[in-house]
Structure 1
Amino acid sequence: MRAHRPRPVRVRDEKVTMREQLPVVSLFSGAGGLDLAVERADAQALVSNDPGEGLLRVAVATDYNAPALATLKTNFSNTATLTGDIREVPTEQILASAGLRSTEPVLVVGGPPCTPFSKSGFWLEQKRESRDPNASLLDEYVRVVRDSRPEAFVLENVQGLTYKTHRAQFDRLLRALGELGYNPQWKVLLAADYGVPQLRRRVFVVGRRDGEKFEFPEPTHSGWSERDRKIDVTKVPHVTASQAFADLPKLVPLSDDEIVDGVYGELASEVPPGQNYLWHTDRYAGRDHFEWRSRYWTFLLRLDPNRPSTTLQAQPGPWVGPFHWENVRTASGDERARRLRVKEMLRLMSFPDDFKIDGTRVEVQRQLGNAVPLELGKAVVKALMTQLGYLHSHRATSELIFA
């Protein structure tokens, strides 16, 4: 990643300029997806390798997961990091790590761990009843906003946070932020509608200290998803998986952990692009092996090259996709489906190709699957900074470029 460099910044009254970047406090930072969006908020729209001019800088990032923060530190060399349970880290310590005082951060951003509100785990009684202890991390986010008094905040989470099961917690979050004067606005956004080649839905909650209402950015892309078959022909079509992978090298060594083998290896290889285990039920043309709707949708799921990917899973089981639409041959000559490679996962998250994550392919997928897609986060942060008066309003480019 490039080093930060100071630049003049237009502030809201357009009369004062300063020679330093605007500081941002990042909570629950993970591998840094939302942080990347912050630092590239003034970059050219929908160009994944444009680092921007440095309007914002992540001054401090916090997380309990040391490997994720190591990834963030690798890609954000000038960001101070704090590893630890945020329930035990005072706001003063977070601010002091960045050399900041209350009211000095322009933004607080972050996504409290989504496990309590995700569909993955609804079979656990405490999660069905919204009693997961990690849910209290929402209150910690409110605490840091209350103590640091940023000009605005951006909170991101899984769509499940808005479901009836968790509605009491969500309402408490909104009420607490509203009592601080931030007038929080929320909306569920589909990543594919903002140029990300992935059908990933996330809820964003945004508020301004001055109480002005935040307006969410209009989608730039359109296409049919699992819920919406209406297409807005005035917008750019969704970016497909094949478009995202188009210029990636295909002749790369095949690693053992890429091959989908074992009990369901042969069945997985026979599933056509865009289909899943349902192909092997009595209603489709595959083998009559599974009962109808007896598994999760992602079981044996293959990518459709002509559509965006489904959500990249953070902790998939051995038979959970999406897998690539092309088969590979094993050393014994058998055809097998293959898992996604690191470069392909980066593309599906609209991350730059030079983003570095150490560890195995599984560890990389865990970090990326928990991250905010760059272009989705960038659209929200750019809209916020424009409405705050730090950026000029302009039309986004209508072409997604991976380079």
Structure 2
Amino acid sequence: MLKTISLFSGIGGLDFGFEAAGFETRVALELDKTSCKTIRLNRDWAVIEDDINKVTSVDVLKVGGLKAGDVDMLIGGPPCQPFSKASYWARGDSLRLDDPRADTLTGYLRILRDTRPRAFLLENVYGLAYSGKDEGLRHILDGIEQINRDVGTQYKVSWRVVNCAEYGVPQVRERVFLVGSREGREFRFPEATHAKPDSLENDLFSDKQPFRTAWDALGDVAPPNDEELDSLRPGGKWGDLLTSIPEGENYLWHTNRGGGKPLFGWRTRYWSFLLKLSKRLPSWTVQAQPGSAIGPFHWDSRRLTFEELCRLQTFPNGLTVDCGRTEMQRMLGNAVPSLVAEVLAREIRKQLLDAPTRSRLKLLPPRREHVPPPVRLSAVPKKYHEHIGEHEAHPGTGKGRQALRRAATVVGGASAGLL
């Protein structure tokens, strides 16, 4: 087993994928109490429950029974909150990895410097690489260059924005992955293995498979019992409207451009508002903090169970959790789909660690040939009929009420500064 240090481990999304590829998590560092409790329920990994900037690299190595330079892999997904410190990352400033003001990205870099793993993987939100707003990405790349100068390593970094559905995950989810080799080897991200079915129809030479779907992931999951079902019913003002929306649709069904009743203005709500899974499509991104009407919901017009969310995240079967719905959803929504981690881990073994594996992917959902017909729709409940009528469409990007209000605030603030 290849030895791994895991940082910002969460519920273990990255770790489960590396585990499936033959890596062993020797130590996991995570601040969130509920996530640590969940890890301990499901795995016997050594867990450090603390803030990364309060834990020394010596402690991490000691708990994992490791030595600097003897670590095969460092993995982790630092939370995205540090982007608020853009000024601290301004190019030209001296990056001090031991600075007490350090953020989570700097904490990751400090442990990378001190443990010197043979390879590393860093995962983050795709906004990390936004053009013109990539201070976080530059911070990481500059920090790695400094590490190479300080300790004589040759870390070379490759990065890519990855849509997890293109590797067989039954969920559309974009993340940034950075992979580096201590010996200066270049990592090449594997080619996508899955694609939208309509893009494959006219490509006779493609060896890609169609996207895995929500039905592929959930088709054999037992439905919830009556007691569970009561707790999964959507609430709030709009929850009872869900039964009148077809699979794969959202609130736009009930606009003057949809097939339902004109209850809303076109594009006046978030895309995930009353969003329902389709059996024939991948799931949309699982949310960490959804409101009462925010999906994706099951095609049976209910919230998804813990097991169903785990399936959409391609976690291994048999996991358990001991917490409330809100904490469970947050942990699952913040996690990395384990299958994409397994795919990348196998490539890292092959390209960077000279330890290829010939076993098949363990976390890829099976393809289910028979897909049941859509669930029959209900009529719009009478309590919503008062909303039927003409509704203005959203005026366009940057022209909505909130955008105009923010613009007025900025202009007002600038004028006050001139005075």
TM-score (norm 1): 0.80
Deviations 1:143-184 (A, max 9, x none): 110111010100011111111353122112112223422111
Structure 2 stretches lacking a partner, 5+ long? 90-99, 149-153, 369-419
Deviations along 1:248-297, whole A, 9 cap, x unmatched? 11362343331013310232221211111111222212222222222211
| Residue matched to 2:182 | 209
Alignment of 1:272-287 (within 5 A): 272-287=246-261
1:401 to 344, 366, 369: 366
The TM-score normalised by the length of structure 2 is: 0.77
Q: Which residue of 2 aligns with 1:59?
A: 26
Distance of 1:217 and 1:197 partners within structure 2: 18
How far did residue 186 of structure 1 move?
Answer: 0.2
In the alignment, the residues of structure 2 paired with residue 69 and residue 324 of structure 1 have an alpha-carbon distance, to the nearest angstrom, of 28
SS at match of 2:191: coil
Q: Percent identity among equivalent residues?
A: 40
What are the Cα deviations for residues 37-82 of structure 1, in whole angstroms up to 9, with x where unaligned?
Answer: 121114xxxxxxxxxxxxx2111100110110111122221x2111
Q: For the Cα contact (< 8 Å) 1:116–1:134, is it kept in 2? A: no
- Residue pair 2:273, 2:294 contacting (<8 A) in 1 also: yes
| Aligned partners of 1:128 and 1:165 also within 8 Å | no
5+ unaligned residues in a row in structure 1: which ranges? 1-20, 43-55, 118-125, 327-336
Structure ID, larger Rg = 2
State the superposition RMSD in angstroms: 2.6
Following superposition, the deviation at residue 302 of structure 1 comes to: 0.6
Contact kept? 2:14, 2:341, Cα under 8 Å: yes
The answer on whether the counterparts of 1:178 and 1:184 sit within 8 Å (CA) in structure 2 is: no
- The aligned runs of 1:303-318 (5 Å cut-off) are 303-318=277-292
Q: Aligned partners of 2:292, 2:191: CA distance in 1, in Å? A: 37
1:265 match: 239
* Residues 134 and 258 of structure 1: CA distance in aligned 2, closer, same or farther (over 3 Å): farther
Structure 1 residue aligned with 2:351: 387
Deviations 1:24-48 (A, max 9, x none): 1100000011111121114xxxxxx
Instruction: Name which of 192, 195, 199 aligns with 1:230.
Output: 199
2:118 to 113, 131, 151: 151
Report whether the alignment pairs 1:355 with 2:319: yes
Question: Following the alignment from structure 1 to structure 2, what is the Cα–Cα distance between the partners of residues 30 and 230?
Answer: 35
1:86 maps to what in 2?
52
CA positional deviation for 1:377: 0.4
Instruction: Note the 1:15-164 alignment, pairs <5 A.
Output: 21-42=1-22, 56-77=23-44, 79-115=45-81, 136-164=103-131
1:346 aligned to 2:310? yes
Q: What is the aligned partner in structure 2 of residue 15 from structure 1?
A: none
Instruction: Indicate how the Cα distance of structure 1 residues 135 and 370 shifts in structure 2: closer, same or farther if over 3 A, else same.
Output: farther
Match for residue 242 of structure 1?
215
Contact (CA 8 Å) 2:234, 2:292: kept in 1 or not?
yes
Using the TM superposition, give the Cα deviation of residue 395 of structure 1 relative to its aligned residue in structure 2, in angstroms.
8.6
In structure 2, distance between residues paired with 1:385 and 1:221: 22
